Structure 1
């Protein structure tokens, strides 16, 4: 449905807009604005532009993503994933080229939403997204070494290994005062009390270190000393330069990269938010809103924008439950930008580098990265290929190779699966003799779902969508007799199924798990987590186990 979530809530849920509810959303919006202020500045500078462009992006795009989006709680703005792309586009085409590419990407995103491509983005394999996200984190980290250590380097090579070679030969000229301020920033953020989350640690660190550098007379580079005086005025929307077919042709690959990454990030953030609040977003409307936001951001001189997972989570944790919170966050940021820009220039560059170190650390998601080494060898190959190419080449090449490799290995795995089927005639004779079940209620509060075919990324997302129909379920039996293989994305979805069941108080039982799948689950440690008594050899044993769970629970309640 192409209808903004805000409009749906206004029409169907007026109880969500009581004065007390709106006050909570406004409060959440203020907290998120405090989180977004230092991040937007840091991300803009890391991208090679002046700090106000990051704030403009958060204000303009953040407001539109919340106003028009398909999620209740999505917060939009610049994110760390775009830093590497934006920096590369500016080096090649200049700021005007970046703004034009951002507008083009916005149009592509709108078309993707209008043609309902939102569901197709879910089919990108998990190792591909993990590989390029972790690769971007490594590159982002490497871009901040110069500012964090105060090396004073002005001409850095863009290639990853060449850049680190320069760093290693330059550490002898470290500005120890700059390094000390950077370490202080990290310490404040890391050890900032969680009970004071209304005032984010990153903002507190910027204020403290800025005052220290200003009044302590420290020899530490600041935004003003690096970029000159920053301008806090909001310009009227305008086209960044002359548009011609030749310009469009040159910028089209960059625009597709921005659109691709913005679409993935927005929908990933929306899915995470759904899990936190127990609601569902509209993927196609989210793409349209992100597209409109990017067009507007480009016209106002901002950066590419997308849904920001960390800021969205902060919104939810502080009580935001309607799009008003996201719109309020943009308004509060605009007020801060207009009133505080003359002081923003005093912020030390090393403090911003420290903030981006932590952004890179969170982006890397090293637990998910290392967990994938338990996956089949084909998934590991996809992960390492995408990661390596993102670091040493660029994101476009990495995604292209990752997807092609995933497709090739997928076809090989299908060939291997066909041979496995032929070696177990009895099992598949039984499948052909009996009527396959899809979804049905076997007993009160017991639901059975059967997956026919390999549990790869397509089947995984389809099954997750089907769980919405099992609201009164107490025991969910997942019948896997026709699942001869499972990949990393399928296992990731299985974990999400398990986590959702845990959250809803539902017991998950796996029935008739084949040997190859069981071996993969054992490598991940999932059998231990689920419990061996929740893995049954056939449907009859599964139903008996389910009945004992339900009757035991009812007896307990009585």
Structure 2
């Protein structure tokens, strides 16, 4: 995506649209930035700094025309775990390293790898993250006091249960006001940001109706400072970097998945096409720079990106405007945000969790009752009860195992004969029987990828085939799209066994990749170029021209169209004979 393409035919009207869209998204982003930071275990202003710095850089350098970047809900359980285990300063270092990894992914053009993450894994961990976010806000919703943060779900639930007697009626009332605004505003005033309306109404109620009765951002985290974010130094010593490599990899993995998923959603809504590698570059740059301003890791935000598109944004300039708007509001009005009750933030995050939960896709996939359902549940429960890293690793491993198992079962090797009823006499699977078969020529169709997972099944089928004496075997390989070294070894071993028994092996329809594999390993040379054909008909003509005529004489199987003339043929033409038959086995020049 070139700069000329991103701003091609840019007009004053487009600039006006970008200003409006950026302003709207900026207002939407303010409460979310603070809420995500608080839920991640850091001060709310760090979420605002992330919105400003990362939001501007992602729009400036990213590969999606309408992508809005910033702190997101998907990062909450990951960042909270890092903060609890390592601390805030090390979170900044991990975020910096995650940015470097994202940058390298973009430089190495690895954006395509995200496509290979199975849908059940992404839906499973997204739903699991949603549960974690939702449950993490129950304490603020109820106004519980003395609640300690726990890294794992069960510990958090046990803590909430122990602190349940400390619930605060005023906090519940405040949260209910905000929740009602979140639900009603989109229906009555769809152009207004519901989260901002909810925060303003619930904060006003808490200040005027029951002042001092609920915990606020100021009472919990101190006054939010106004003005520009201050540059922080980072300890980038080797010991720190090595210790934080695992968290950095998690941040990079999740950041790449979320940003590219958001870019795909933006493409669908706007009819554009993003550049995945450039998007990773933009995400990397943003996450490298943001920690120096105290910001937490950022990625593409699907909800804010959708708001940007619905607000008629015309270019990435709207994302830059959104960051500037947040900067101006923070500089002028940040101290007033300290009066926002924590109970008001809880419904905002709960709605975020509800909207990101993929509940419809989750239920739909669960109803399929397939291997994908198992992957979905395993990823979901591990995300909730352990860590995101464990969940994704287990989900990917299980998906790979089930895929290999399914592919191994899909390999089929069956005997076939031409279908006399078909005009073009195509091969018909499982047509041969004791009254309709050829004692000299056997045709087998091999269907499916011939790889390590299917090698055992192929070996069993091949061993059964090698037991029967035959003059010629034609292997139809047109439906074998792939062959690895294990599959090649089994295939070549079958050819060797048949050839050692005196059977001529012909191959028809060999695809490019299996042919290249056989050529590299010497299997193709064992077959012989003249025994490899593009079409089954050519292989069959070759075999029929070399059958043992005396064996054909008197045969009443009539497996092939040519059998009638072969049965009546006079004289003996030497060719291959069925091992163990009474026919001659001496070969003349030019025969198999």
Report the TM-score, using the length of structure 1 for normalisation. 0.73
**TM superposition shift of 1:95:** 0.8
1:8 aligned to 2:1? no
Q: Distance in 1 between matches of 2:123 and 2:300?
A: 17
**TM superposition shift of 1:194:** 4.1
**TM superposition shift of 1:298:** 1.1
Q: Which residue of 2 aligns with 1:252?
A: 245
1:56 aligned to 2:49? yes
Q: Distance in 1 between matches of 2:244 and 2:283?
A: 19
Q: 1:9 to 1:401 in 2, by over 3 A?
A: same
Q: Distance in 2 between matches of 1:432 and 1:79?
A: 61
**TM superposition shift of 1:271:** 0.5
1:81 aligned to 2:78? no
Q: Is the Cα–Cα contact under 8 Å of residues 146 and 153 in structure 1 kept in the other structure?
A: no
Q: Counterparts in 2 of 1:374-389, with a 5 A limit?
A: 374-375=367-368, 377-389=370-382
Q: Which residue of 2 aligns with 1:228?
A: 222
Q: 1:188 to 1:195 in 2, by over 3 A?
A: closer
1:140 aligned to 2:140? no
Q: 1:385 to 1:231 in 2, by over 3 A?
A: same
Alignment gaps of 5+ in structure 2: 428-446, 450-477, 482-592
Q: Counterparts in 2 of 1:318-467, with a 5 A limit?
A: 318-375=311-368, 377-419=370-412, 422=414
Q: 1:91 to 1:20 in 2, by over 3 A?
A: same
1:272 aligned to 2:265? yes
Q: Is the Cα–Cα contact under 8 Å of residues 259 and 301 in structure 2 kept in the other structure?
A: yes
Q: 1:194 to 1:453 in 2, by over 3 A?
A: farther
Q: Which residue of 2 aligns with 1:511?
A: none
The match for 1:170 among 163, 173, 178 is: 163
Q: Distance in 1 between matches of 2:378 and 2:424?
A: 38
Q: Which residue of 2 aligns with 1:441?
A: none
Q: Distance in 1 between matches of 2:425 and 2:339?
A: 73
Q: Which residue of 2 aligns with 1:531?
A: none
Q: Is the Cα–Cα contact under 8 Å of residues 52 and 232 in structure 1 kept in the other structure?
A: no
**TM superposition shift of 1:360:** 0.7
Q: Name the structure where helix makes up a greater proportion of residues.
A: 1
Instruction: Please give the per-residue CA displacement for 1:445-477, whole angstroms capped at 9, x wherever unaligned.
Output: xxxxxxx989xxxxxxxxxxxxxxxxxxxxxxx
Q: 1:336 to 1:297 in 2, by over 3 A?
A: same
**TM superposition shift of 1:430:** 12
**TM superposition shift of 1:150:** 0.5
SS in 1 for 2:236: coil
Q: Is the Cα–Cα contact under 8 Å of residues 74 and 326 in structure 1 kept in the other structure?
A: yes
Q: Which residue of 2 aligns with 1:295?
A: 288
Q: Is the Cα–Cα contact under 8 Å of residues 145 and 163 in structure 2 kept in the other structure?
A: no
SS in 2 for 1:237: coil
The match for 1:310 among 292, 303, 311 is: 303
Instruction: Please give the per-residue CA displacement for 1:262-321, whole angstroms capped at 9, x wherever unaligned.
Output: 100110001011011111000000000000011111111101100100000001111012
SS in 2 for 1:192: helix
1:186 aligned to 2:183? no
**TM superposition shift of 1:215:** 2.3
Q: Which residue of 2 aligns with 1:447?
A: none
Q: Distance in 2 between matches of 1:172 and 1:430?
A: 82
Instruction: Please give the per-residue CA displacement for 1:334-381, whole angstroms capped at 9, x wherever unaligned.
Output: 101111111000001011011000011111111011111133521111
Q: Is the Cα–Cα contact under 8 Å of residues 185 and 192 in structure 2 kept in the other structure?
A: no
**TM superposition shift of 1:234:** 2.6
Q: Is the Cα–Cα contact under 8 Å of residues 74 and 307 in structure 1 kept in the other structure?
A: yes
Q: 1:432 to 1:346 in 2, by over 3 A?
A: farther
Q: Distance in 2 between matches of 1:431 and 1:278?
A: 45
Q: Distance in 2 between matches of 1:432 and 1:25?
A: 65
SS in 1 for 2:308: helix
The match for 2:205 among 212, 220, 228 is: 212
Q: Is the Cα–Cα contact under 8 Å of residues 149 and 350 in structure 1 kept in the other structure?
A: yes
Q: Distance in 1 between matches of 2:231 and 2:278?
A: 24
Q: Distance in 1 between matches of 2:46 and 2:17?
A: 29
Q: Which residue of 1 aligns with 2:17?
A: 24
The match for 2:113 among 117, 120, 125 is: 120
Instruction: Please give the per-residue CA displacement for 1:92-140, whole angstroms capped at 9, x wherever unaligned.
Output: 1111100000000000001001111001111100000111111111111
Q: Distance in 2 between matches of 1:430 and 1:108?
A: 60
Instruction: Please give the per-residue CA displacement for 1:365-412, whole angstroms capped at 9, x wherever unaligned.
Output: 110111111335211111111111111110111111111111111111
Q: Is the Cα–Cα contact under 8 Å of residues 84 and 151 in structure 2 kept in the other structure?
A: no
**TM superposition shift of 1:53:** 0.5
Q: Is the Cα–Cα contact under 8 Å of residues 6 and 316 in structure 2 kept in the other structure?
A: no
SS in 1 for 2:391: helix
Q: Distance in 1 between matches of 2:17 and 2:479?
A: 48
Q: 1:171 to 1:114 in 2, by over 3 A?
A: same
Q: Is the Cα–Cα contact under 8 Å of residues 22 and 322 in structure 2 kept in the other structure?
A: yes
Q: Which residue of 1 aligns with 2:233?
A: 239
Q: Distance in 2 between matches of 1:267 and 1:381?
A: 25
Identify the structure with bigger relative contact order (alpha carbons < 8 Å, sequence gap 6+). Answer: 1
Q: Is the Cα–Cα contact under 8 Å of residues 147 and 160 in structure 2 kept in the other structure?
A: no
Instruction: Please give the per-residue CA displacement for 1:131-163, whole angstroms capped at 9, x wherever unaligned.
Output: 111111111111111111001123243321232
RMSD: 2.6
Larger Rg over CA atoms: 2
Instruction: Please give the per-residue CA displacement for 1:147-195, whole angstroms capped at 9, x wherever unaligned.
Output: 1100112324332123212323432321011101101100111011446
Instruction: Please give the per-residue CA displacement for 1:24-76, whole angstroms capped at 9, x wherever unaligned.
Output: 11101111111111111110111111111001001100001111111110000
